[in-house]
Structure 1
């Protein structure tokens, strides 16, 4: 059957694109490899009715495309864990601390951290997030890691460690291996309060009241039979007027245009022809941080008993924890520790992760009512988490990043720079707009 547009992937990007295309009267078909919509956004419920989010959870005030779509769908946003009372926990091999300063700070470190945060924000303001390549010092900024920049500014080892533990908490990769230009671009996209490289209120202060996957579920219901599940794509041929999409089963579909909303990892497994070598090279050059998400469900938020807010930054296998809801604790395993997790016998993974939570919050941590572990880095349909930008990678991927080559359009978390749910919605809607503009 021939369609106006075929969208590859039913995550937030693909659904957002398909929704706008369908609303404009386009005959659109969405192909999804999984047996559900949502991609890296997924949720379940406890027997007592609490929503448990197994994928993306939070957004901030700067994530305007996501907020607008939620408003259009009639979904309510509420404060996220940033409203949780208590102190944040930091855990390292030699100690534990709650609140600021962290236990490894010495005299002068707090003032130096504040000064460098302001300097970073000022430098970020000179970068255009839509065109970082135009910065006069783009190549030099890209060659330097964030940790390298900190040391070039004579940051103490204690300050470098604080920045790095915070970055590992986000599971995007250590600042020893993240491009300064990429970090500045990300900060410029959500400038917020100008207090450094990442402000939790600006980035993660909101969540959907019914759970983040509700956004995907509502769009999936709207699209109805336009979404075809269990349909992995093997090959795409791009040709003006008649593109072809071959499924893994061998079935061939045709369309006037194709929108790829696949993560860059799985996309590398799809044979794409009819697209310029330069655009394919840019797409294939991108990489994702290999990470995992862990969720533990408890009867109540026991961490409050010690004036803790459930938020932590850690140098264990876990990089961070945060409370996603009443008595529900989320955690991320950063790329640097993903191999340790995979090397752990499967039956020991959850007990060992719970032991780390216990070391931070007490004995109650090892008595959850349920646990969930999502190995995003090993999932064939994700092959990773957020986009990862090692030094030199922004220039190597180049200004074709996030661009289209009609009738081949590209969208997804990987095609923007700040917030993977925001990036999905923003680029999905932009791809639909561009496809409609070109008729």
Structure 2
């Protein structure tokens, strides 16, 4: 059977694309390679605390920063709750650190103010619509550690900045790009605090509640169909899955994660420079751990120079037990090593008992091959916006190629919106030419 459009990938970008095109009257097929929908938004029962639903992937939202996601929540009546408030602070940032929300001591206020000015000045150089390769930003696309060292910050301020950067980029400062850290600042209304304060709300009943609601509005869906090739050398595009099943359409939307595109054979071949970045894949190795502990204070928040740059409260399990969420990267830490987890937690909270850990290794998952997007140094100043632009009748969507909100559900929805508009415009032009 031939379709108007085939969508490859059932995360939020794929679901929105398929739903909106079908709602506009198109005959649409959604192909998902796995056995569940939602992509890197993944809620399920905790492996350490039965009957407790947890978010293994993306979880946080802010209605001001994420208007498209807010609109989807309102459309389906999906409930959210306020994220845990931090009220107890146990930082490890040096002898002059203060265990309060903003731990910078007064003696470092002036150099920190100067550094913030530089960060905001450089972030304001970024136009979120033009792409990082089109703005002469190569001087900022350097290892983050070099950029931070040049700021001349004292000990506490420097450690504080590096800890949150590691949390957000999913790469240690030696490997992450200063330009990408600044891109995240630009995306949050050019606000350093906006990046942190975007952790505002969470899904009350898990992100899969929204996933399932959107799925009900997608007329045709096939699970377990891993796409291996997309051939648009003829009038009708041929999409072939891993079992050799061939599907035909007039347009295709690739909504799979960027790091899996190299597993798809495109005919004609993608342009060389674009293909080279796709073959490299982005360098994000972010690791989110949900650590089950006993004896932790409610509202705990830790920032520091440990192997977990951040460790903070996630939710209550019982009167004496809680889940904490830690961020690090899979190249620096082995989450299978319970002893290492205990050491990392005890660096901040020596009094708690570690009962278990829950996580998903996105880098090792063949359907994702990486967590949220974080480019290699020098990569996106070479090729950024073009990664998400159409290649003839094949469109590319997903949070990995969002310009305004990369790595967020909002970014996935933003790119889907763009692709739907382009495909519907093309359909009108085709109809008028006949």
Q: TM-score range by the shorter chain?
A: 0.7 to 0.9
Q: 1:215, 1:116 → 2: CA distance?
A: 40
**1:264 equivalent in structure 2:** 258
Say whether residues 1:318 and 2:317 are aligned partners: no
Q: 2:55, 2:311 → 1: CA distance?
A: 14
Say whether residues 1:431 and 2:424 are aligned partners: no
Shift of 1:303: 2.8
1:137-180 CA distance string (max 9 Å, x none):
422222x3333233333333543322111112235212333333
Q: 2:314, 2:426 → 1: CA distance?
A: 42
Question: Contact 1:240–1:256 (CA<8 Å) still a contact in 2?
Answer: no
Query: Relative to 1, partners in 2 of residues 1:321 and 1:221: Cα closer, same or farther, differing over 3 Å?
Result: farther
User: Relative to structure 2, which stretch is displaced further, 129-138 or 421-430?
Assistant: 129-138
**2:224 equivalent in structure 1:** 230
**1:66 equivalent in structure 2:** 69
Question: Contact 1:310–1:329 (CA<8 Å) still a contact in 2?
Answer: no
C-alpha RMSD over aligned residues = 2.9
Q: 1:214, 1:94 → 2: CA distance?
A: 45
Aligned length: 417
Q: Which of the residues 275, 279, 292 maps onto 1:280?
A: 275
Shift of 1:93: 10
Query: Relative to 1, partners in 2 of residues 1:94 and 1:236: Cα closer, same or farther, differing over 3 Å?
Result: farther
Structure 1 residues 16-415: aligned runs within 5 Å: 16-45=16-45, 50-60=52-62, 61-81=64-84, 84-91=85-92, 98-99=99-100, 102=103, 108-133=107-132, 137-142=136-141, 144-191=142-189, 194=191, 196=192, 199-201=195-197, 203-223=198-218, 226-239=220-233, 241-278=235-272, 279-297=274-292, 302-304=295-297, 309-327=299-317, 328-335=322-329, 337-338=330-331, 340-341=333-334, 346=336, 349-350=337-338, 352-367=340-355, 371-415=357-401
Q: 1:107, 1:40 → 2: CA distance?
A: 40
Q: 1:63, 1:210 → 2: CA distance?
A: 19
SS in structure 2 opposite 1:366? strand
Q: 2:180, 2:168 → 1: CA distance?
A: 15
Shift of 1:128: 0.4
Question: Contact 2:41–2:56 (CA<8 Å) still a contact in 1?
Answer: yes
Q: 2:233, 2:345 → 1: CA distance?
A: 53
Structure 2 spans left out of the alignment, 5+ residues:
428-434
1:393-421 CA distance string (max 9 Å, x none):
22221441321123100001210253422
Question: Contact 2:93–2:155 (CA<8 Å) still a contact in 1?
Answer: no
Query: Relative to 1, partners in 2 of residues 1:176 and 1:198: Cα closer, same or farther, differing over 3 Å?
Result: farther
Q: 1:179, 1:161 → 2: CA distance?
A: 17
Query: Relative to 1, partners in 2 of residues 1:320 and 1:23: Cα closer, same or farther, differing over 3 Å?
Result: same
1:51-80 CA distance string (max 9 Å, x none):
211111002221222222222222133321
Q: 1:136, 1:85 → 2: CA distance?
A: 38
Output the TM-score relative to the length of structure 1: 0.84
Question: Contact 1:132–1:138 (CA<8 Å) still a contact in 2?
Answer: no
Q: 1:170, 1:354 → 2: CA distance?
A: 23
SS in structure 1 opposite 2:125? coil
1:112-150 CA distance string (max 9 Å, x none):
2233123312332232012144876422222x3333233
Structure 1 spans left out of the alignment, 5+ residues:
none
Q: 1:245, 1:22 → 2: CA distance?
A: 19
Shift of 1:280: 3.2
Q: 2:155, 2:95 → 1: CA distance?
A: 15
Query: Relative to 1, partners in 2 of residues 1:402 and 1:334: Cα closer, same or farther, differing over 3 Å?
Result: same
Shift of 1:275: 4.8
**1:5 equivalent in structure 2:** 5
Query: Relative to 1, partners in 2 of residues 1:117 and 1:173: Cα closer, same or farther, differing over 3 Å?
Result: same
Q: 1:22, 1:160 → 2: CA distance?
A: 50
Output the TM-score relative to the length of structure 2: 0.85
SS in structure 2 opposite 1:400? helix
Shift of 1:108: 3.1
